[in-house]
Structure 1
């Protein structure tokens, strides 16, 4: 390895995926592998080169100097915030992660998961996710300092569709792996990818993993709610040039299930109650 490698992700942007890839890679290369959950238990001596470090929330406030080291190359991974909300909501409804089952102060000591599942409609569940956990993820993606010369800025969407490994090879080259190491990188990436050797079946972290899930899930009212909550996020992250995507949303009648507040009767019931359809 020419450089030490830092992999910086965010919740539901491919963290488990990258963990699998780089943990396998570290084992193949015989280098130290650390993740963000263990950082507090592994002070500076544990970071003696060569190392690969995964930070699952891209938070380096405790070690800002790491990102400035001349012997470090960084891979930073983001995802379309709309898909982050969708993926996170479904994951949080079923996950056994401990924080989801701990009483939340100020919310009658009800757990996050229970509060989420108590929302009466899927619309309200997505809104709840926007207002809580995913709000932090979007904020963190926006708050990352972009433009570092030692950082490769990548998108989940590009890697998820990278069946020919073109993007991945640009990344592994940038991270400083030589030709022999790149062959190992390719193998580790392929074996841990849904289009490669990783089966979605039996993987509790993977519900879909698809790109552009929001096109199927977002109703127009939900889209307006998203824009109100994160007014410039998609533009700042380069996913949309403006808000016209909201106007482009089209859903067949079977998907027009709820009005804006998510608490009214389905539209088909309203159509029977009123003769304006």
Structure 2
């Protein structure tokens, strides 16, 4: 490895996928794999080079200095916020993560999962998710500093389509993996991708992983609710040039009603 590596994602942007891939890569090349939040209070001691540091929500707080280290290269993964919303809502309805099941401290509200499942329609559940957990995820994607010279910003959708692993090989090269290490990197990527070896086994965490699920799930009402909450997010993240995508959804809805 020519550089130490930082891999940073956001909730429902390929977090489990990338953590599994990079754990396998670190093991293959003899690097020290470090989970950012598990090691947060002792991170300086945990970062023994060569290391692969993984952060599942792209918030570094008092450890932001690691992103400026001259010996570090960063992979930052984002996803279409509309698909983040869909994936997060369905995941949060059944997931067993403690924060979903516990009553918020100092708050009389029911646990998150209970409140979500109590809502009468899928539309209401999407809006609840949009205004709560997914709101934080979208804001974090918007707040990321995208002009870091040592960072490669990659879309989940582009990785999902990368069956030839051409993009993945460019990523490995940018991160500083030697040519002799890149084959192990490609093997790890394919073995842990839903369209590769992992697709032939049961993966309880992921629903499908497909890109652009929003085209089949968004109604005109949900599209308008999304834009009301995040009017410029899709343009800022490069997923849309304008709001004409809403008109396409409206036309599609009219066809189904006819």
Q: TM-score range by the shorter chain?
A: over 0.9
Equivalent position of 2:55 in the other structure: 55
Report Cα offsets for 1:12-68 as digits up to 9, x if no partner.
Answer: 000000000000001111111011231224331211210000000101112111000
Q: Which residue of 1 aligns with 2:27?
A: 27
As a proportion of its length, which structure holds more helix? 2
Whole-Å separation in 2 of the counterparts to 1:128 and 1:214 = 17
* 1:117-196 equivalences in 2 (<5 Å): 117-196=117-196
Q: For structure 1, which segment, 216-225 or 200-209, has the greater mean C-alpha deviation from structure 2 after superposition?
A: 200-209
RMSD over aligned CA atoms reads: 1.7
Q: 1:97 to 1:245 in 2, by over 3 A?
A: same
Q: What TM-score comes out, normalization by structure 2 length?
A: 0.95
| Counterpart in the other structure of 1:46 | 46
Larger radius of gyration: 1
In the TM superposition, 1:91-102 aligns within 5 A as 91-102=91-102
Q: Which runs of 4+ in 1 moved over 6 A?
A: 253-256
* Structure 2: 5+ residue stretches without partners: none
Map of 1:235-250 to 2, 5 A cutoff?
Answer: 235-249=235-249, 250=251
Q: Which runs of 5+ in 1 are unaligned?
A: 257-276
| Residues 219-228 or 103-112, more deviating | 103-112
**Aligned partner of residue 199 in structure 2, secondary structure:** coil
TM-score, length-normalised on structure 1?
Answer: 0.89
Distance in 2 of aligned mates of 1:161 and 1:147: 25
Structure 1 window deviating more from structure 2 (226-235 vs 104-113): it is 104-113
CA distance in 2, matches of 1:146, 1:176: 19
Equivalent residue of 2:169, what SS? helix
Measured in 2, the distance between the counterparts of 1:82 and 1:114 equals 23
CA contact (8 A) 2:220 2:253 kept: no
1:227 Cα offset (Å): 0.2
* Distance in 2 between residues matched to 1:29 and 1:175, nearest whole Å: 13
Q: State how far apart, in whole Å, the 1-side matches of 2:204 and 2:255 are.
A: 29
**1:82–1:214 CA contact under 8 A, matched in 2:** yes
Residue aligned with 1:43, SS: helix
How many Å separate the matches in 2 of 1:139 and 1:3?
Answer: 29
Mapped to 2, the partners of 1:125 and 1:142 lie a distance apart of: 23
1:8 and 1:75 in contact (8 A); partners too: yes
Quote the Cα distance in structure 2 between the aligned partners of 1:41 and 1:197.
36
1:217 maps to what in 2? 217
How many residues are matched? Answer: 257
Per-residue deviation, residues 224-254 of structure 1 (Å, max 9, x unmatched): 0000010100000000000110001144679
Deviation per residue, 1:92-128 (Å, 9 max, x gap)? 0010111100113576330000000011000000000
Give, in whole Å, the separation in 2 of the partners of 1:201 and 1:92: 22
Q: Counterparts of 2:109 and 2:246 in 1: how far apart (Å)?
A: 36
